Amino acid sequence: MANFVLVHGAWHGAWCWQRVTATLQRAGHRVHAVTLTGVGERAHLLSPSITVDTHICDVVNLIEAEELQDVVLALHSYGGLLGTAVADRVAQRIKHIVYVDAILPEPGESWSSTQSAATQQERMAAAQASPHFSLPPPDPAKFGLQGADRDWVMRRQTPHPGNTYQAPIQFDVQRVAAIARTYVSCTRPALASIDPSRLRARDAACWGGAWLPGSRFVELATGHDPMVSDAPALSQILLDSAR
């Protein structure tokens, strides 16, 4: 039996993993899908005081409170940023990290670091115009979702805490690189803001040369929310990572 900890991306919540959670549980594994502070069913806690460190603590505290070992840590999108710092803090508890079309950060970077100046300005302006300094959710069609899947995600997305956007993280590259890692690149359609991370995941210079050894790269022919659009394929990648 493996211990899975599933960390969603921006504007999402634990709800987005429902289809994956069901498959992993049927296979006999323990699954914990985190909802980060201020989003999903915790949207009532939305506040300018929430930072990326708040979200790091959400995940670290879950792992420690549940006394989890040999964790398969699945990180979607923005979750790749904070989850890398989680792996640094509780490396002894992590068996495998799965970056699901996720930000692959370098030390000292923030969510905004790999995005264009225009995107950064647009998002910060939107946060300043909001009542709780938050980032409004995009249309899920941007993630390649259509029909009922798009509508399902559209109904559930919530604004994301704005002070997570420019906050940098620090981590020990060697400590995190000692953990087995998989990068899942979603290609149809490929979300442009993840392109820098996709390139890094195949770059021998990433993490000063420490990323490629001990990592694998997998492509899924689906959009940015594979836990919705291709849950069976993503679930199989997660199950493979638990072996």
Contacts of 80 (CB under 8 A, 6+ apart): 99, 100, 102, 103, 104, 105, 197
Percent of the chain that is helix, strand, coil (3-state, to 5): 45, 15, 40
Reading the chain (243 residues) residue by residue, the pLDDT tens digits are: 899 999 999 999 999 999 999 999 999 999 999 999 999 999 999 999 999 999 999 999 999 999 999 999 999 999 999 999 999 999 999 999 999 999 999 999 999 999 999 999 999 999 999 999 999 999 999 999 999 999 999 999 999 999 999 999 999 999 999 999 999 999 999 999 999 999 999 999 999 999 999 999 999 999 999 999 999 999 999 999 999
The model's pTM is 0.98
Residue 12: which of 138, 101, 125, 98 has the closest Cα?
A: 138
Decide if 46 contacts 159 (C-beta within 8 A). Answer: yes
Provide the domain limits for residue 29.
Answer: 3-241
Q: Which residues are catalytic?
A: 77
Q: Domain count for the chain, please give it.
A: 1
- The CATH number of whichever domain residue 152 belongs to comes to 3.40.50.1820
